[in-house]
Amino acid sequence: MFKIATWNVNSLKVRLPHLIDWVNENNPDVFALQETKTQDENFPLEAIEALGYNVVFTGQKTFNGVAVLSRHALKDPIMALPDFDDPQKRLLAVTVGDVRVIDVYIPNGSEVGSDKYEYKLKWLASLHAFVKQQLTEYERVVILGDYNIAPEDIDVHDPKAWEGSVLVSAPERKAFDDLLDLGFHDAFRAFTEEQVFSWWDYRQGGFARNKGLRIDHILFSKAMTEDFQACYVDDAPRKLERPSDHTPVVAEFDINIDR
DNA sequence: ATGGTAGGTTTCCTA
């Protein structure tokens, strides 16, 4: 079994105790993190290695930052989109066994029509080109992380209130669909038609009222279709004291990684 | 109804 998970931790420093507990309980083969908000020199390398994981990371001060933990060897890391000059640390691609893992922290976009929204759409276009290129080198590809896109209305607690706004707007959803059209499945939707969220606003009791969105996703390439077993959201970490606003999403595959 | 909460190192910015 090959278990791969993603979690926007919203500060690795603050969430490290939750992360350690979750890893010990769930034992993922690969764990992709976003919003580490940690400069590389401050990365808690010893704590992660003590859990029995290899890790690659690319971070910056205050914002963004991604990391991939793996029980297996990590090969051929790429720390940024190759054709997009971006000071923001939002992408990490690495190979585990014969699976190419692409950890993404897709820009939030702030507000439809804003500069940040334009940046988000350009970033997504660059991601599309990168993934297309990676598919020429790797058959098994997983793209996982915080997409900041709710793909369909079922992924939104109140679609009418959210209609047209950032995270659900048509251009963002088209960019998501364009990724699928390269030959990917949305693991959660391949597994269930349930309405389940992966993020709840800290404000106004978003989690308690289940006013959330499904914006954290695991996409797998068609070459992995026969291997796919399950996908689920684990909301247990969202119930803890001082939680991240996101909670882990997990996918399981019938794949053996040699080392 | 443009609020609210959280994290960073800030006196606001981002989400």
Counting every residue written for chain A, the total comes to 259
CA of A245: nearest nucleotide by C1' is B6
Residue A198, CB half-sphere, CA atoms under 13 Å: how many?
A: 26
CA of A244: nearest nucleotide by C1' is B6
Determine the distance between A238 (CA) and B5 (C1') in angstroms: 14
Query: What are the start-end ranges of the E strands in A44-153?
Result: 54-58, 66-70, 75-78, 91-96, 99-105, 140-146
Cβ(A228)–Cβ(A185) under 8 Å? yes
Q: Which residue is nearest to nucleotide B9 (CA to C1')?
A: A62
Q: What is the pLDDT of residue A136?
A: 98
Q: Is A53 a catalytic residue?
A: no
- pTM of the full structure: 0.98
When computed from its CA atoms, the radius of gyration of chain A, rounded to whole angstroms, is: 17
Q: Which nucleotides of B are covered by protein (CB under 7 A)?
A: 4-9, 14-15
* Region class of A141: left (phi > 0), else alpha (psi between -120 and 50), else beta: beta
In tens digits, chain A (259 residues) has pLDDT values of: 999 999 999 999 999 999 999 999 999 999 999 999 999 999 999 999 999 999 999 999 999 999 999 999 999 999 999 999 999 999 999 999 999 999 999 999 999 999 999 999 999 999 999 999 999 999 999 999 999 999 999 999 999 999 999 999 999 999 999 999 999 999 999 999 999 999 999 999 999 999 999 999 999 999 999 999 999 999 999 999 999 999 999 999 999 998 6
Checking A155-161 for CB contacts under 8 A at 24+ apart, the result is: A155/A195, A155/A197, A155/A213, A155/A214, A155/A215, A156/A213, A156/A214, A157/A197, A157/A210, A157/A211, A157/A212, A157/A213, A158/A211
Q: What is the pLDDT of residue A258?
A: 80
Residues 6+ apart with CB under 8 A from A69: A23, A28, A30, A31, A32, A33, A48, A51, A53, A54, A55
Q: What is the pLDDT of residue A220?
A: 99
- SS3 state at A9: coil
